[in-house]
Structure 1
Amino acid sequence: MDHASILRLMHCPALAAAGEQAPVLRETHISWVILAGELAYKIKKPLDFGFLDFSTLERRRFFCEQELALNRRFAPELYQAVVPITREAHGPSLDGRGTVIDYAVRMRRFDERQLLSNIAARGQLDRALVRALGQELARQQAAASACYPDAEAAQAGSPASLRAAIVQNFVQARGYALQPAEQQLLAEVEDWTLARLRQLTPLLVQRAASGHVLDGHGDAHLGNIALVDGRVRLFDCVEFNPGMRIMDGIAEIAFLCMDLQARGHRRECHWLLGDYLEYRGDYAGLALLDLYRSYYAMVRAKVALLREPAGNPDLAAGDAYREFSRYLQLARRYAGHPPAFLAITHGVSGSGKSTVADRLAGAAGALRIRSDVERKRLFGLAPEQRSAPGDEARLYGSAMSR
């Protein structure tokens, strides 16, 4: 389908009768989304970018089915069905009897004010919501399928695959007329990233073998997370390229932390990371955090440049270049070595140790680790799970405290 066909589809009887207000069209670089009443219909554009191929009807049908199945892992109440778009006498229509000309993913529509990106922009990303987000990410990863030793999946999540993606970012950025300051920053970030990747390759391999490479979401930023019926829900995962979705679990949280920091929510970033780790327990993955955060900041920097023609003589004066520079500077900050410190709170039960430590973590960019939670983890309990009567002595006994 093309844009003109989409506009005609918006006037078909099924959509015209969907609500009191006329259907609304939203557009991304790879899809059209029609909002009609309480439903949304997502239609894939007939494009082939290499890493994404929606060029044929059969491929669009396949990837609609993939989108439905994969996203039901995260938001089953949102993703309803794949419906055909048919050619009728009055024009294109949804789920008619004519020849199938395309497909759409039918979704339940939610209040866009409840997107976490919009909530954050209003300054309403509070402590309870951040905690719920960290818990949901950890829960999803606990339920996700480990991809090792599947050969194709292992390749997608391998150090070689990550290196190829890293190098591509820098090659594509250098295809533009960068200013000297950004050229220098780019070289510094590239040198650090590739050196860090070499250092961490044994850890990446070990983590893949031990089940940390997961079939995840692939695009978990605040604009793809919403409050639905009061619950945190991820949506719009990467269905078109498994290599962009299969990754070490720590990469998923690194991307979201980078997104929070890029939006100016440093405190919430550290809250989220601490909450995620508290529920997930993957503290060993922290060694990879800044590598992935720098990588994803460079992805954003590159994408900003790709919105402009490579030969644009006014590139440096435009908004796209300013966005590129902002993300490049963020990537460079991750390559630094901030001073480390350890603060320990102690006191009797109920004295406020956890509350003070939580505030300190958010303000100082630190992680809070609670001994009560780690005791429970060793005992096989979840952070919020209460111990059974009689277990307190074992939970807080000398054997558990060593």
Structure 2
Amino acid sequence: MKSDEIEQLMCGESFREGHDGASLIETHISWVILTNQYAYKIKKPVQFSFLDFSTLEKRKYYCEREVFLNKRLADQMYLRTIPVFKRGNSFSLNSQGGEVVDYAVFMRRMDTAKEMDKLLLAHKVNKQMIKGLAVKISEFHRQATIIKKKTEINILKERFNDLGIVQAFARDHLGDHYAGVIGQSVKQSGLFLDKYQYAINERISKGCTRDLHGDLHTGNIFLYKDPVIFDCIEFNDELRQIDVLDEIAFLCMDLEAYDRKDLSGLLYQNYLMYSGIKEDKEAGLLFHYYKCYRANVRAKISLLYAVNTDDRIMFDRKIQTAIRYLALLNGYLAKL
């Protein structure tokens, strides 16, 4: 579908009754239509190096994958895949006639007051919530499918080194110090991966690489008594099939980005305890490396957003966010 067709869909019969205040959230890969009780996520017909939604068949497949994979951690939220129909110039989600022109992930809306990132900003995340989250994640990891495929070290290097594409922009807008952090991190990452390649492969042999969530940060968590973790990566298996330490490192890093090292440490220690993992030297170093990598990715995303926006307020906000993640990255490098 196209943007104007999404607008036509929102003006059609599907949203005419019982859906007061329908609104739209747009990302670079999807549209999400929000109503009082439900959400409808439609994938854009786009193709990038890391995903391919270019055909109707592929969008249907990945909608179904999204529902299937997310039901592991958010069964009550993800309902099913539904078709988008076109009849004449009208679009509908509930008509049984017309041509199927796209598909949507049909979801039940959660309570936005339970969003973890918002609760952190309001200083409303407590130790009990973190312990409950550690239990949820450790149980999920324990049950997740083991992946025995060996990791290509050069691929890990390329993923980390991709931060270099924004180094010149960082020098122009953040200064030499942060541009230097980018350059040093790329160099140090390569040396670390060469030195500890054996440890990474050993952990794969031990079953530590599993089919996980892949995008475990505070923006993808609702802190109910039983936490709801949503929006896993469905479009690229390699980005989801990762070391369990990589996954928990992402969330720990994100907590530290909110200046909550206390909660990060509590989450990690409880995760290790509930998972029955005994941290040796190599595991500890890999945990810090994965925090480096996740801070790297978040900084890159923020800088790329700044590159492509004409909104000055959003530009400044993303620059400050990038600085925060690069500062974290710099601190983690000292622990490798």
Give the structure-2-normalised TM-score. 0.91
Q: Is the 8 A contact 1:88 1:98 kept in 2?
A: yes
Equivalent position of 1:275 in the other structure: 270
**SS of residue paired to 2:52:** coil
Report how far residue 104 of structure 1 moved: 0.2
Q: Is the 8 A contact 1:250 1:286 kept in 2?
A: no
Structure 1 residues 182 and 50 mapped into 2: Cα distance closer, same or farther (>3 Å)?
Answer: same
Q: Is the 8 A contact 1:158 1:205 kept in 2?
A: no
Structure 1 residues 318 and 56 mapped into 2: Cα distance closer, same or farther (>3 Å)?
Answer: same
Q: Which amino acid in structure 1 is aligned with residue 121 of structure 2?
A: A
**SS of residue paired to 1:147:** coil
Structure 1 residues 45 and 291 mapped into 2: Cα distance closer, same or farther (>3 Å)?
Answer: same
Equivalent position of 2:328 in the other structure: 330
Instruction: Output aligned runs, 1:205-284, within 5 Å.
Output: 205-228=201-224, 230-282=225-277, 283-284=279-280
Report how far residue 218 of structure 1 moved: 0.6
**SS of residue paired to 1:74:** helix
Worse overlay, 247-256 or 197-206 = 197-206
Equivalent position of 1:8 in the other structure: 8
Cα deviation code 1:252-298 (max 9, x no counterpart): 00000111101111111111111111101222432311100011111
Measure, in 2, the Cα distance between the counterparts of 1:38 and 1:139.
Answer: 29
**SS of residue paired to 1:307:** helix
Measure, in 2, the Cα distance between the counterparts of 1:219 and 1:27.
Answer: 18
Is it true that 1:161 corresponds to 2:160 in the alignment? no
**SS of residue paired to 1:29:** coil
Equivalent position of 1:53 in the other structure: 52
Q: Is the 8 A contact 2:170 2:178 kept in 1?
A: no
Structure 1 residues 163 and 177 mapped into 2: Cα distance closer, same or farther (>3 Å)?
Answer: closer
Q: Which amino acid in structure 1 is aligned with residue 158 of structure 2?
A: A
Instruction: Output aligned runs, 1:11-30, within 5 Å.
Output: 11-19=11-19, 21-30=20-29
Report how far residue 89 of structure 1 moved: 4.1
Q: Which runs of 5+ in 2 are unaligned?
A: none
Q: Is the 8 A contact 1:18 1:38 kept in 2?
A: no
Q: Identify the match of residue 169 of structure 2 among 172, 176, 189.
A: 176
Structure (1 or 2) with the larger CA radius of gyration: 1
Equivalent position of 2:100 in the other structure: 100
Q: Which amino acid in structure 2 is aligned with residue 330 of structure 1?
A: L
Going by fraction, where is helix more abundant, 1 or 2? Answer: 2
Q: How many pairs are equivalent?
A: 325
Q: Is the 8 A contact 1:12 1:94 kept in 2?
A: no
Q: Is the 8 A contact 1:302 1:324 kept in 2?
A: yes
Instruction: Output aligned runs, 1:298-377, within 5 Å.
Output: 298-309=296-307, 318-337=316-335
Measure, in 1, the Cα distance between the counterparts of 2:230 and 2:307.
Answer: 31
Equivalent position of 1:398 in the other structure: none
Q: Which amino acid in structure 2 is aligned with residue 191 of structure 1?
A: K
Structure 1 residues 200 and 62 mapped into 2: Cα distance closer, same or farther (>3 Å)?
Answer: same
Equivalent position of 2:81 in the other structure: 82
Q: Is the 8 A contact 2:44 2:53 kept in 1?
A: yes
Report how far residue 328 of structure 1 moved: 1.4
Moved over 4 A (4+): none
Report how far residue 88 of structure 1 moved: 2.2
Measure, in 2, the Cα distance between the counterparts of 1:59 and 1:138.
Answer: 32
Q: Identify the match of residue 200 of structure 2 among 199, 204, 209.
A: 204
Measure, in 1, the Cα distance between the counterparts of 2:129 and 2:170.
Answer: 42
Measure, in 2, the Cα distance between the counterparts of 1:318 and 1:71.
Answer: 33
Query: How large is the RMSD of aligned CA atoms in angstroms?
Result: 2.0
Q: Is the 8 A contact 1:197 1:291 kept in 2?
A: no
Q: Is the 8 A contact 1:158 1:204 kept in 2?
A: no
Q: Which amino acid in structure 2 is aligned with residue 302 of structure 1?
A: K
**SS of residue paired to 1:22:** coil
Q: Is the 8 A contact 2:157 2:189 kept in 1?
A: no
Measure, in 2, the Cα distance between the counterparts of 1:39 and 1:174.
Answer: 41
Report how far residue 318 of structure 1 moved: 4.0
Q: Is the 8 A contact 2:84 2:100 kept in 1?
A: yes
Is it true that 1:42 corresponds to 2:53 in the alignment? no
Q: Is the 8 A contact 2:170 2:303 kept in 1?
A: no
Q: Identify the match of residue 195 of structure 1 among 191, 197, 201.
A: 191
Measure, in 2, the Cα distance between the counterparts of 1:142 and 1:16.
Answer: 45
Q: Is the 8 A contact 1:163 1:197 kept in 2?
A: yes
